Amino acid sequence: MKAPVRVAVTGAAGQISYSLLFRIASGEMLGKDQPVILQLLEITPALEALKGVAMELEDCAFPLLAGIVQSDDATVAFKDIEYALLVGARPRGPGMERKDLLEANAAIFSAQGKALNEVAARNVKVLVVGNPANTNALIAQRNAPDLDPRNFTAMTRLDHNRALSQLANKTGSTVNDITHMTIWGNHSATQYPDLHQAKVKGEDAMGKVEQEWYETDFIPTVQQRGAAIIKARGASSAASAANAAIDHMRDWALGTAEGDWTSMAVYSDGSYGIQEGLIYSFPVTCKNGDWEIVQGVDINEFSREKMTATEQELAEERDAVAHLLP
């Protein structure tokens, strides 16, 4: 058996974590041969609820769960961690403007970035789930100058998985038949789910759907899926978000499928003309615990316009918190 690795989860008493933690502890994220120590961060008023979650984790008697740490102090929860799933965030309250939301979260993610910089393992892999995820990841990254910016990512895997299912339904296939799906940009309603590279049973997806469906059905359905779930369920996506976080981390740690790629919001190196330093979702492949942006994807005029719109939104979010960045 391997030595245990330390995995931090923030917002650990929240609804996403209630699906997420049990799957990490059962080995679905890092493999059935990898023991984990869960290091759980919550705000002080939620520590009692967190205790209940930790009791349930114990009661599962997971063979791979080698320990549980509970804290409201990020320097305790992030000590020596190799994986961080930053799920906790400030939700939008009544009357709160977008700017207020960005600022409230900037405070949280600055502090967590600093704590990661101080105490996490130098190879820590960070996934930000809490919204606005891309900009929260950027803020954490900028506050962790001693860590490689490539260690910071944000989640667009839920959007990616939603797109896979929509296309499978439309083409009468299953998600197993689909490859080369891409989500570009921000995890928000400006994201661009791109089918131009996607394949269904090895054939071009765009040849199997009408342009009209692509533009007026597929793209808005994927972009608005989070809102549709809230409307139907009366609560935001939780199990599917947890599932996407598992998929994101598993692929990053253990590799993407041969001959395919996934979507991750990562530190832009200027690929596809996207401003350097934004945390932007690209098609990526992962191997040996590292990710790489897929190069050479053809971008037509339609795609370029949508990629630029979501880039613009990310640049605006960054500028709105610029005064809080180091």
Any contact of residue 165 with ligand NAX (CB under 6 A)?
no
Question: Helices 15-25 and 239-254, interaxial angle, to 10°?
Answer: 40
Instruction: List the one residue from 6, 8, 9, 14 that touches ligand NAX (CB under 6 A).
Output: 14
Is 98 annotated to bind a ligand? Reply is yes
Provide, rounded to whole angstroms, the least separation between the CB of residue 315 and ligand NAX: 19
Question: In the numeric block, which tokens belong to residue 110?
Answer: 């600055």
Closest by Cα among 214, 188, 179 to 303: 214
Active site residue 180: no
Is 122 annotated to bind a ligand? Reply is no
Any contact of residue 158 with ligand NAX (CB under 6 A)?
yes
Query: CA-CA distance, 261 to 268, in Å (whole number)?
Result: 17
Report the run of H or E that residue 128 belongs to, with start and end. Answer: strand 125-128
Instruction: List the one residue from 8, 54, 133, 286 that touches ligand NAX (CB under 6 A).
Output: 133
Considering only residues 265 through 304, tell me which ones interact with ligand NAX, judged by CB under 6 A.
none
- Contact characters 191-230, ligand NAX, x per CB under 6 A: -----------------------------------x----
* CB distance 271 to 295 below 8 Å: yes
Any contact of residue 155 with ligand NAX (CB under 6 A)?
yes
Query: CA-CA distance, 205 to 203, in Å (whole number)?
Result: 6
* SS3 assignment for 129-179: CCCCHHHHHHHHHHCCCCCCHHHEEECCHHHHHHHHHHHHHHHCCCHHHEE
Instruction: List the one residue from 6, 79, 187, 306 that touches ligand NAX (CB under 6 A).
Output: 187
Question: In the numeric block, which tokens belong to residue 73?
Answer: 């102090």
Any contact of residue 310 with ligand NAX (CB under 6 A)?
no
**Neighbour tally for 92: CB within 10 Å:** 15
Applying CB under 6 A, the span of 13-21, 93-101, 163-171, 275-283 interacting with ligand NAX comes to 13-21
Residues tagged in the binding site annotation? 11-17, 92, 98, 105, 112, 129-131, 162
The residues of the shown chain that bind ligand NAX, judged by CB under 6 A, are 10-11, 13-17, 41-43, 46, 87-91, 108, 129-131, 133, 155, 158, 187, 226, 236-238, 241
Q: Can you say which residues are annotated as belonging to the binding site for NAD(+)?
A: 11-17, 105, 112, 129-131
